[in-house]
Chain A
Amino acid sequence: MKKLLAILMAVMMMMSISSVMAEDNVEITLWTYPIGNWVDPETVDGIIANFNAVYPNIKVTVNYLDYTSGDDQVTGAIEARTTPDIIMEGPERLVTNWGAAGKMLPVNDLWTEEALADISAGSEAVVAACKGADGNYYEYPLCMTTHTMVIDRAAFEAAGALQYVDVETRTWTTEGFVNACRALTDAGYMTGVVYCGGQGGDQGTRALVNNLYSGRFTNAEHTAYTADSEENIQGLTLLQDMVNEGILMADPSIVAGDEIALFCNGTITMGFCWNASAAVSNKASMADGIDPLPMAFPSDDGVPELCGGIWGFGIFDNGDAARAEAAKNFIRFVCDDAQQGPASVYATGFFPVRASFGDVYAGTDKEANGEFMVFMPFLGDYYNVTGGWAVQRTEWWNLLQRVFGGGNVTEEVATYVANANASIK
């Protein structure tokens, strides 16, 4: 009898110990879009290992998304109530889409006074982009960049078109752009392709159209799309004329990824979708003799306004306080830790939102990324937080398809604006 009692007590003690241990251990999931090396399991596992050295009781499981099917997976997870705890992406999804739909937890407590001051010192636009219309922050940012275009310096030089480019400031004028395209065509080169087969890399075509005559994509309040402005109509008309003249191409069968491939294999001599991360990831596939030179988009006054990219973390509201707290610990560690923070940014190939991190590439094998710092002063309005963003994106490439299919620019932009603005709630 005594033996039986002792065994029972031992079993009960074991059960209580294991239940206490289970309470302390938290499992969270992280879904990440392909942001630089955050698509590479070795890199991400390394970051998680660093995190676990500080928080051994939090187990992080990772799922890698891509931009083709990632949104569909998240939408499916939201409807099936199987969303991850943490997701890494930009404010257009985390704040404007899922945050506004009430699917995300506010992360206001991550935005300490110190963090706010540090991030504001880098860019006020980042702070504004991470905040929802209800005043809550739904994203805690890690890195940012400017989206640029790229030209093949060797081809430009051979065609005598380099004279239209300011290699020092990486800027050029609309007139210079047209002249360069003519010079390249006359020399037998294919210039660039305005891709419009889908939404992939559409920031490039938006920036191209907007900059040609200094137009704006939305109003300053981000409450309406303004592609029908005089400047934007002028820009689209110029591109349509250039395509008709044969000095530029438009292609509804390709997206940005295809265009980058065409640039890398030497088919075309300029690409409209480029940034620091693309420069690194396409280095190996670059054909011999191509000398990629990142450039700002051409503008009438020579002062471009570039689209920005902001990436960071948000937390889905899964109704579990312990997991939410663990997720916040993970985000704090990855973004704010004095050692891990810069390393996390380094993995993205972009630039830190925290001014205090400085140049994370100095003295590293990605030192060349530093050349993209020249574009930071041209960072324009982060209009991606405008409502109806998903509808607008589809409307945009369909607008380009209609315009380059011979449509009347004024009528087509009116259709675009009507449809895009109707989707703003």
Chain B
Amino acid sequence: MQLTRNMSKAMKATRRRENLSAYLFLTPALLFFAGFVIFPMGMCLVTSFFNYSMTDFSFIAFDNYVEMFSDPTFGKSLVNTIVIVVVSVPTVCLFSLWVASVIYKMNSFKTSFFRCVFYLPVVTGSVAVTVVWKWIFNNYYGLLNALCKTLGIITKNVNWLGDPAYALWCIIMILFTTSIGQPIVLYVSALGNVDHSLVEAAQVDGATNRQVFWKIKWPQIMPTTLYILIITTINSFQCFALIQLLTNGGPNYATSTIMYYIYYNAFKLNRYGYGSAMGVILAVIIALFSLAQFRLAKNDR
């Protein structure tokens, strides 16, 4: 009895020590997370209730939120943001899955080569990427106009970034090229980890390629798909650098997004409180979208 009691005490002490070590190891990361994520989020929420500028810091309750929902530019930016997300997320996921399903079967050299090619825009700085795209879309001597003219698609130059009919689609296209790298790498890895014995068993049972994909592979890569959906959604909602560097939200707010409008209010007009309120709403929208994706993916499994 005594022996059991002593053993139990010793186990508890060991567990306590292990827990303590674990928390100590976690502490630096937790401090970093609290200081650079949790605290700014809390500050953002608090300042959203204030008229916070360079010269003022007064409590105004929900006035920033009321103003936001009657601000036509915010409305336009919200619509643009949702268009970007709705178009960009499915296309990025589908294209990445398609590319990955083609290249993961290749030999390791070819697979690595294609992974590098598609990952290149991700590791290239946003400024460098936008400079190249700006040249491609240039109204006067751009590559795209020259190509389209040569192919007889257009007869005179199109101002791709200056025409409200095309500008947002150009942004979505650039965002697409910079977003597919990581999903392709993740899908190649996930497809490579699919249990091959199940695939073979299904094939022996007479399953078609389509059935093998949807019944065997798709459920096994679902966690990866869920992760890709969420990170692509968040990245699309937070699309900012491309817009700031290429269009400044123009023409006539045709490419303005919530992130850009937050930046504009906070840094150009020094309306930190109003910018924070928009940040809170953006966080809520991203959370809702992510929740919906979690639910859908759960049902799918």
Contact = CB atoms under 8 A, between A and B. Distances in A.
Contacts of B167: 253
Given A251-B159, A251-B162, A262-B140, A101 B55 contact: yes
Interface stretch (A47-55, A56-64, A72-80, A174-182): A72-80
Interface string A379-403: 0000000000011001001100110
The dominant DSSP class at the B interface is loop
Contacts of B26: none
A101 B56 CA distance: 9
B252 A398 contact: yes
A25 B55 CA distance: 33
A405 B248 contact: no
B140 A405 contact: no
B45 to A, nearest CB: 17
Contact of B247 (A78, A103, A197, A423): A197
A267 B139 CA distance: 11
Contacts of B5: none
A201 interface: no
Nearest to B52: A79
A71 B266 CA distance: 11
Given A75-B270, A78-B54, A254-B139, A197 B159 contact: no
A71 B267 contact: yes
Interface string B238-281: 00000000011011110000000000101111101000000000
Nearest to B141: A267
Interface residues of A, number: 29
Interface residues of B, number: 25
A98 B53 CA distance: 12
Contacts of A358: none
Contact of B253 (A190, A390, A398): A398
A401 B268 contact: no
A102 interface: yes
B251 A253 contact: yes
A266 to B, nearest CB: 11
Contact of B250 (A75, A76, A103, A197): A197
A101 B54 contact: yes
Interface in B2-57: 54-55
Interface in A109-131: none
Contact of A398 (B164, B250, B272): B250
A89 B140 CA distance: 33
A401 B268 CA distance: 19
Nearest to A190: B140
Given A79-B272, A405-B164, A252 B267 contact: no
Given A254-B139, A254-B162, 8 more contacts: A101-B54, A197-B248, A252-B162, A253-B139, A253-B160, A253-B247, A394-B264, A398-B253
27 contacts: A71-B267, A72-B267, A75-B270, A76-B267, A98-B54, A101-B55, A101-B270, A102-B55, A190-B140, A197-B251, A251-B139, A251-B159, A252-B252, A253-B139, A253-B160, A253-B161, A253-B162, A253-B167, A253-B247, A262-B140, A390-B269, A390-B270, A391-B269, A394-B268, A398-B250, A398-B252, A401-B252
